[in-house]
């Protein structure tokens, strides 16, 4: 079959149709331009995050840094990636640097900070993307790859040795100083508690102070001191004749018991004088003692009021009796300054 030639025909275009076509194309161009401008404006206002890594290949235990760059509006409310100590299983975060904020113009800012990471498991890791949340919008960074390799081991040329025995460290006494001090303190505390309990059981003071040795004066010294005190009190001058003579006679009776063993405090005056009569050392002053004791009996039991001279005579006879009957080895100066010459009565006295 013979093919007929095809002839093309072109219809003539009027000026009206040409103007319509131009308007449609201009409208389409303006719409495309508007859409493109809006898209670029929206893209410029959103937050952007990018991540980079210093080294994508590490040996086990080595470290590397991941750098994060975030660009956003100055007044944007951002929620940065929250990573504590693990980026993913097998990749650990050692340190997070401080934020570094920079003004990049057009009401925009750039935030930069780093993650120091490491890994102890050999593997090829595809790290998860970092996210930034800006209000209701979430922005993701690109994913990073990290290859962690183990150290090569040369099993041909390397020599292996047995495990060494446990090495006993040298003894250092300072290492046990605290324990020794605690033991000593505990022992001292136990000993102290035991000591306190034992003393309490025996009703003794916790600390026994050394007792002062009591100095016992000779009987004649004690008697002279007692008579000095009576003399200084001036009892009979105050109308207390009974107290005066009672004290003087008691001093002499106590002296007789200490010096000669006569229990004069339990005897009447006649019994005492009878025993003194048999003592040779008291012969010369027997009458002086008799005057003293009889006068005291009259004052105490008969309500006798002696004259001032009789009171003085009783005290002088008491001094004289003690001085004359004192031991011979005691010098007169030891008897409180009272010598026999000063306290002697002129003559044996007679009872009134």
Q: pLDDT tens digits for 52-111?
A: 999 999 999 999 999 999 999 988 888 888 888 898 999 999 999 999 999 988 899 999
Give tens-digit pLDDT for 194-231. Answer: 988 988 888 888 777 776 777 788 989 988 999 999 88
Give tens-digit pLDDT for 26-48. Answer: 676 666 655 554 444 444 468 89
Give tens-digit pLDDT for 310-333. Answer: 889 988 988 999 998 888 764 544
How far apart are alpha carbons 109 and 102 in whole angstroms?
Answer: 6
Quick one: pLDDT at residue 41? 44
Tokens for 4, please give them. 């007929």
Give tens-digit pLDDT for 275-309. Answer: 888 888 888 888 888 898 898 888 888 888 888 88
Q: Would you tell me the crossing angle of helices 241-260 and 219-233 to the nearest 10 degrees?
A: 170
Q: Which of 281, 285, 289, 292 is nearest to 327 (CA)?
A: 281
In the structure, what pLDDT confidence band is assigned to residue 134 with cuts at 50, 70 and 90? confident
- Cα pseudo-dihedral 300, 301, 302, 307, rounded to 10: -10
* Helix, strand, coil distribution of the chain in percent, nearest 5: 45, 20, 40
Q: What is the pTM of this model?
A: 0.38
Map out the domains of the chain as residue ranges.
Answer: 48-149, 173-205, 219-343
The fraction of the chain above a pLDDT of 70, given in percent, is 80
CATH superfamily of 48-149: Immunoglobulins (2.60.40.10)
Residue 267 burial (CB < 10 Å; 0-12/13-18/19+)?
Answer: middle
Phi and psi at 304, nearest 5°, equal: -80, 135
Residues 131 and 140: beta-carbon distance below 8 Å? yes
């Amino acid at each position: 079959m013979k093919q007929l030639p095809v002839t093309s025909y072109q219809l003539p275009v009027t000026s009206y149709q040409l103007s319509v076509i131009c308007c449609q194309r201009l409208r389409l161009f303006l719409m495309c331009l508007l859409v493109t401008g809006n898209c670029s404006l929206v893209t410029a206002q959103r937050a952007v995050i990018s991540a980079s890594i210093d080294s994508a290949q590490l040996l086990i235990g080595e470290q590397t840094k991941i750098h994060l760059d975030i660009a956003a509006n100055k007044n944007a409310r951002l929620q940065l990636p929250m990573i504590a100590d693990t980026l993913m299983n097998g990749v650990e975060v050692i340190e997070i640097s401080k934020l570094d904020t920079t003004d990049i113009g057009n009401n925009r800012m750039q935030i930069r900070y780093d993650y120091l990471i490491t890994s102890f498991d050999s593997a090829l890791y595809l790290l998860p993307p970092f996210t930034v949340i800006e209000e209701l919008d979430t922005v993701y960074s690109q994913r990073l790859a990290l290859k962690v390799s183990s150290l090569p081991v040369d099993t041909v040329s390397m020599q292996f040795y047995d495990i060494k025995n446990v090495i006993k460290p040298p003894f250092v006494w300072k290492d046990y100083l605290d324990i020794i001090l605690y033991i000593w303190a505990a022992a001292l505390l136990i000993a102290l508690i035991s000591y306190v309990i034992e003393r309490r059981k025996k009703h003794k003071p916790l600390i026994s102070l050394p007792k002062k040795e009591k100095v016992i004066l000779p009987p004649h010294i004690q008697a002279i001191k007692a008579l000095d005190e009576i003399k200084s009190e001036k009892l009979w001058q105050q109308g207390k004749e009974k107290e005066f003579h009672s004290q003087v006679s008691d001093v002499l009776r106590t002296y007789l018991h200490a010096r000669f063993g006569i229990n004069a405090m339990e005897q009447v005056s006649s019994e005492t004088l009878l025993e003194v009569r048999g003592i040779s050392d008291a012969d010369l002053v027997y009458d002086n003692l008799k005057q003293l004791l009889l006068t005291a009996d009259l004052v105490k039991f008969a309500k006798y009021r002696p004259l001032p001279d009789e009171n003085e005579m009783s005290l002088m006879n008491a001094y004289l009796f003690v001085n004359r009957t004192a031991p011979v080895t005691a010098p007169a100066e030891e008897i409180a300054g009272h010598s026999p010459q000063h306290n002697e009565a002129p003559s044996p006295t007679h009872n009134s």
